[in-house]
Amino acid sequence: MNNKYACWSMGFFVMCSACFLTDSCYIMSGDSDCTRTSPSAGSPSDNEFLPDRPKYVCSLSPDLITKAREELQEKPEWRLRDVQALRDMVCKDYPSLGTSLDDAFLLRFLRARKFDYDRALQLLVNYYTCRRSWPEVFNNLKPSAIKPVLESGFVTVLPRLDPEGRHVVCIRPDRWTPSNYPITENIRAIYLTLEKLIQSEETQVNGIVILADYKGVSLSKASHFGPFVAKKVIGILQDGFPIRIKAVNIINEPRIFKGIFAIIKPFLKEKIANRFFLHGCDLNSLHQNIPPVILPEEYGGTSGKLDISAWNELLLASEEDFLHDFSQLVLPCDSSPHDMLVSGDADEKQCDDSLRGMKPQLYYCY
């Protein structure tokens, strides 16, 4: 493989990881100049007049209710009315979207965008648009279909929460053998993992943490994550999924990784760059972010060997839930992803221009 092309692919891979693993992004921000404010007073949601719709029952502890109020602008006394406001916007602006309108489902999007109605609606529309635009990932999307990926240990979730009540998602690219299945299978496995995690209201409020182990990852393997795949992943996990990723801890990254990240860093908002922690082989550095008590022995922890079986069993046992939930995620045939995607064309152009300007610099990194 041409070393320059491989280096460029690795650079694009790192940049896109930086984008899709954070809940705000320079290239696809989705911010709105016009923010709707929550009503100052009002009556309960008209959910009570719709007997076929499951009634929402909050499962958050008092502490998490307080945290959601402070960090997400979620006010329990207005919660259902805010959900109804988003529901009304969907019915008015996107009557053919085909989305679930359940309180609990819509609440995920409001929390992910701090109860900004416009941005929550944008996220919801993108959520469905992304599904239609990439059939290789979303067709037949269910846990049993990605069983080989789960058995490889490419992605798993540690059994214990961190001190902030966040799940730790562990990604190990070295466990993937490209000749066994395409990279899209890995993306499907990550997506289903996030879908399972976001069902929890605690995760919706606390967010998650990523632990990415790049041990043994070569440039030839990284080259599979090319521009096409990278842009798709950005669209899904940055602007098309309702989850808050609070930190990305990268360990055992190759030396070239730091050089490429230094080139990419100026293109990122300070908020995003500050969420990345490159630890190299320094486990003490990792332990400052993730305490050893929740880490497996492989990362200097005290919780025993890394066991992927518990998470795999949990995900595979959710097969029927996914079949039910995803059966609703179908856009009408006359709806174009281009028409429904509400991210700005200017932002995408800015992204392309930035990448073109970065490419010559990446040629010198190897």
Q: Does 320 score more than 70 pLDDT? A: yes
Tokens of 263: 């080139």
Instruction: In whole angstroms, give the CA distance from residue 151 to residue 355.
Output: 35
Q: What angle do CA 169, 252, 164 make, to 5 degrees?
A: 35
Q: 3-class SS at 149?
A: helix
CATH architecture designation of domain 139-326: 3-Layer(aba) Sandwich (3.40)
Instruction: In whole angstroms, give the CA distance from residue 150 to residue 182.
Output: 14
pTM for the full predicted model: 0.77
Position 262 confidence tier, pLDDT thresholds 50, 70, 90: low
Q: What is the 3-state secondary structure (H, E, C) of 232-273?
A: HHHHHHCCCCCCCEEEEEEECCCHHHHHHHHHHHHHCCHHHH
pLDDT value for 177: 92
Mean pLDDT of all residues in 24-44:
37
Asked if 99 and 108 touch (Cβ cutoff 8 Å), the reply is no
Asked if 86 and 47 touch (Cβ cutoff 8 Å), the reply is no
Tell me: the pLDDT tens digits for 209-223?
999 998 988 777 777
Instruction: In whole angstroms, give the CA distance from residue 172 to residue 168.
Output: 13
Instruction: In whole angstroms, give the CA distance from residue 262 to residue 243.
Output: 26
Tell me: the pLDDT tens digits for 78-131?
999 999 999 999 999 999 998 999 999 999 999 999 999 999 999 999 999 988
Give me the phi and psi of 86, to 5 degrees please: -65, -40
Instruction: In whole angstroms, give the CA distance from residue 173 to residue 233.
Output: 16
Q: Taking the domains of the chain in order of start, what are their residue ranges?
A: 62-133, 139-326
* CATH for the stretch 62-133: 1.10.8.20
Asked if 187 and 225 touch (Cβ cutoff 8 Å), the reply is no
Instruction: In whole angstroms, give the CA distance from residue 194 to residue 242.
Output: 9
Instruction: For the chain, give the percent of residues with pLDDT over 70.
Output: 67
